[in-house]
Amino acid sequence: MARPPKSEIQGYNISIVGKSLQVTDAIRNYVFEKLAKIEHFADRIIDVTVTLDAQKLEHSCSIIMNFGHFHIKVSASTDNMYSAIDKASDRVIKLVRRYKTKLQSTRAKHLSTVDIHVNVIKALDDDLAAINDDITAENARKEEGRYMLHEVVAKETVALKTLTEGEAVMKMEISDDPLLIYRSEEDQKIKVIYRRSDENYNIVQIP
């Protein structure tokens, strides 16, 4: 199995892996040409892995394309490697177009909004924890006044959108935000959706 070194094109990494196949310069350049066409339809690509396999009369191409918080995986097999690369790349473009169309229709939908008020909290001094460790029991009350609670330094008004659960999940998938507060279209409840460490999502209803 030949594994050429990773190449960096347009700010993301591309790995081309050959199984039972030598990845020639011609094949590598053909893959790059196809990926360049996908770039016209997709953005925020992190990395791409293209696996090429040749087994007797069957040639296959598998493409895994990672974005911010989701990925696309497709594969195609024919009796010709170039044809397999064509079919796999066409499937990637089709999936990206479908996702973007769904996203655009969601954005174009009229969403009722209300304003919520958000307090901007000033961060505590990084050394506060170390200072607290040095304060002894006998002077703790004297020092208490020096270490106040978080201070509200500004206030903002944020539009609270009404979303379906699917729309809320989609917005999290295409953003790097850790959480999103929204009004549920299904039951009109205020809810918070946040990203877990395993990249899944939890939705919490605010009483």
User: What does the pLDDT look like over 108-134, one tens digit per residue?
Assistant: 555 555 667 777 766 655 555 555 555
166 inside domain: yes
Mark whether 118 and 31 lie in a shared domain: no
Query: What is the total count of domains within the chain?
Result: 2
Which of 106, 135, 164 is the last residue in one of the domains? 106
93 inside domain: yes
- Degrees to nearest 5, angle at CA 96 with 95 and 97: 90
Q: Which of 33-42, 141-150, 172-181 has the lowest mean pLDDT?
A: 141-150
Mark whether 57 and 145 lie in a shared domain: no
Mark whether 165 and 92 lie in a shared domain: no
User: What does the pLDDT look like over 50-68, one tens digit per residue?
Assistant: 999 998 889 999 999 887 7
143: containing domain: 113-205
172 touches 180 (CB < 8 A): yes
Residue 31 belongs to a domain with what CATH number? 3.30.160.100
CA distance 9 to 58: 29
Which of 106, 133, 168 is the last residue in one of the domains? 106
* Closest C-alpha among 79, 26, 5, 87 to residue 16: 5
pLDDT average, residue stretch 189-195: 90
